[in-house]
Chain A
Amino acid sequence: DQQVKQNSPSLSVQEGRISILNCDYTNSMFDYFLWYKKYPAEGPTFLISISSIKDKNEDGRFTVFLNKSAKHLSLHIVPSQPGDSAVYFCAATGSARQLTFGSGTQLTVLP
């Protein structure tokens, strides 16, 4: 039973364009959502988060959108850069504060 789903295993985007990564969740008890970036053989790097009381949070080139009614969140990266190429994980947590991760999306930014 996957509570957090990333349905696109991979995404390719041209440098300078927008990258949109999507994530769906099923558990209504989740109240905090995070995006992490991961390179092989390294730990995930925290990128940006959003609380369930908000619908948008921005940090530089990264923006996360949350649609609670649809149980959907997305990460927008604008403009995309080759250094953004990595696996992106969305994660969700509730009061127990244990992260439940999606399966990841491999983003490739083409020069």
Chain B
Amino acid sequence: KAGVTQTPRYLIKTRGQQVTLSCSPISGHRSVSWYQQTPGQGLQFLFEYFSETQRNKGNFPGRFSGRQFSNSRSEMNVSTLELGDSALYLCASSSTGAEQYFGPGTRLTVT
């Protein structure tokens, strides 16, 4: 089975812009979660989608949003980018919700 894929792998944006990241889960996995990794805060949960519905949300501002499509692929969007949004954004998929399998991540740099 192919693993979780994320596109793009690297992205450079300017403050104030918006960005959309994409994730394709492992085939058959209906749960997709997003995490942010920064040197200061570590790995933090953003949100989880299951069957096109947001099931859980972490403690992030409303500028961070996501969605899931009927084929389980997911996108996350960050609007009005700030310097502090520079991070590695990780997508994980799961069939059970407990064991999550991560993609390679998208490295976002905000200048």
Contact = CB atoms under 8 A, between A and B. Distances in A.
A44 B102 contact: yes
A98 B48 contact: yes
Interface string B49-74: 00000011010000000000000000
Interface residues of B, number: 27
* Interface majority SS (helix, strand, loop, mixed), chain B: strand
B42 interface: yes
A98 B98 contact: no
A34 B90 contact: no
Interface stretch (A10-18, A54-62, A74-82, A89-97): A89-97
Interface stretch (B12-20, B78-86, B103-111): B103-111
Contacts of A100: 45
Contacts of B100: 34, 46, 99
B103 A43 contact: yes
A45 B88 CA distance: 15
Interface in A17-55: 32, 34, 36, 41-46, 49
Contacts of A32: 98
Contacts of A104: 42
B43 interface: yes
Contacts of A91: 43
Nearest to A96: B56
A103 interface: yes
A41 B99 contact: no
Nearest to B90: A43
A51 B43 CA distance: 21
Contacts of B55: 97
B34 to A, nearest CB: 10
Interface of B: 4, 6, 31, 33, 35, 42-45, 48, 55-56, 58, 88, 90, 92, 94, 97-105, 107
7 contacts: A41-B107, A42-B104, A43-B105, A46-B99, A49-B98, A98-B33, A101-B42
User: Which 7 A/B pairs are nearest by Cβ-Cβ distance?
Assistant: A43-B102, A97-B97, A101-B43, A98-B45, A32-B98, A44-B102, A43-B104
